[in-house]
């Protein structure tokens, strides 16, 4: 793995406790803890994303940003023979942590890049997945990440996004989630006040589904066919 990407300021300032510090990686790399953070919905949301990507994944798949828990090992297990998975992350410590979770023979390339500047050729991937990245990044990075994800998709390819969403007014966790997100994940409230479609190319074909009283969403965005 070449380490080339500069670490964005918001990761140092806002998320040192979750992703940057070595003790953070040791603390959070527990399936039960990531499941607790998602109120018991980790497996459901993971499988919703994976099922939208497909049962068997031929060609090239791109995951933008590492995820604690078994998301990537499960994704890698769906690769067809001769298929490959690239996983991008801006933090070398996160890529090193992911490497430890993957079987040695898994056809997974770990790439130290910024989601806002992927550096891959246009139209290189059959599918791209963003699992709980967009709520963690400032608006300019979020817009650039979505533009990059769409740029590297092949014509007719699909981008699958799973992330936070504005919960229903009656949701019993609405107030507590507002407090948690405002205090610990300050960019996340954007996803309560905006539709992700606002930051996607005009005319993109989008299928949206919400989960758990609207607290989470999944979007499947299809790139225009050639």
Structure tokens at 26: 């040791």
Instruction: Please report how close the Cβ of residue 74 comes to ligand SAM at its closest, in angstroms.
Output: 14
Residues in region 3-22 near ligand SAM by CB under 6 A? 8, 11, 19
Residue 65, class by beta-carbon neighbours within 10 Å (0-12 exposed, 13-18 middle, 19+ buried)? Answer: buried
Residues in region 112-131 near ligand SAM by CB under 6 A? 114-116, 131
195-198, long-range: CB < 8 A, 24+ apart: 196/134, 196/146, 196/161, 196/163
- Applying CB under 6 A, which of residues 25, 53, 75, 90 lies at the interface with ligand SAM? 90
Question: Is residue 62 near ligand SAM by the rule CB under 6 A?
Answer: no
Instruction: Please report how close the Cβ of residue 186 comes to ligand SAM at its closest, in angstroms.
Output: 14
128 in Cβ contact with 154 (< 8 Å): no
Residues in region 173-192 near ligand SAM by CB under 6 A? none
State the Cα torsion 215-27-10-13 to the nearest 10°: 120
Question: Is residue 75 near ligand SAM by the rule CB under 6 A?
Answer: no
Instruction: Please report how close the Cβ of residue 89 comes to ligand SAM at its closest, in angstroms.
Output: 5
Binding site for ligand SAM (CB under 6 A): 8, 11, 19, 34, 65-68, 88-91, 94, 114-116, 131-133, 136-137, 141
């Amino acid at each position: 793995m070449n380490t080339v990407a500069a670490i964005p300021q918001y990761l140092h300032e806002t998320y040192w406790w979750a992703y940057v510090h070595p003790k953070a990686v040791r603390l959070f790399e527990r399936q039960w803890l990531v499941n607790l953070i998602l109120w018991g919905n980790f497996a459901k949301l993971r499988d919703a994303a994976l099922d939208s990507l497909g049962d068997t994944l031929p060609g090239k798949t791109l995951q933008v940003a590492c995820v604690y828990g078994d998301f990537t090992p499960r994704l890698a297990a769906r690769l067809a023979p001769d298929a490959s998975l690239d996983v991008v992350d801006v933090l070398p410590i996160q890529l090193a942590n992911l490497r430890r979770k993957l079987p040695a023979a898994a056809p997974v390339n770990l790439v130290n890049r910024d989601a806002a500047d992927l550096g891959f050729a246009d139209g290189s991937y059959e599918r791209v997945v963003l699992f709980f990245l967009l709520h963690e990044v400032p608006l300019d990075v979020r817009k650039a990440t979505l533009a990059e994800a769409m740029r590297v998709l092949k014509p007719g390819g699909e981008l699958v996004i799973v992330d936070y969403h504005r919960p229903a007014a009656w949701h019993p966790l609405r107030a507590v989630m507002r407090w948690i997100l405002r205090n610990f994940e300050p960019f996340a409230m954007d996803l309560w006040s905006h539709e992700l479609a606002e930051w996607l190319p005009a005319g993109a074909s989008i299928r949206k589904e919400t989960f758990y009283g609207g607290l989470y969403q999944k979007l499947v965005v299809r790139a225009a066919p050639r």
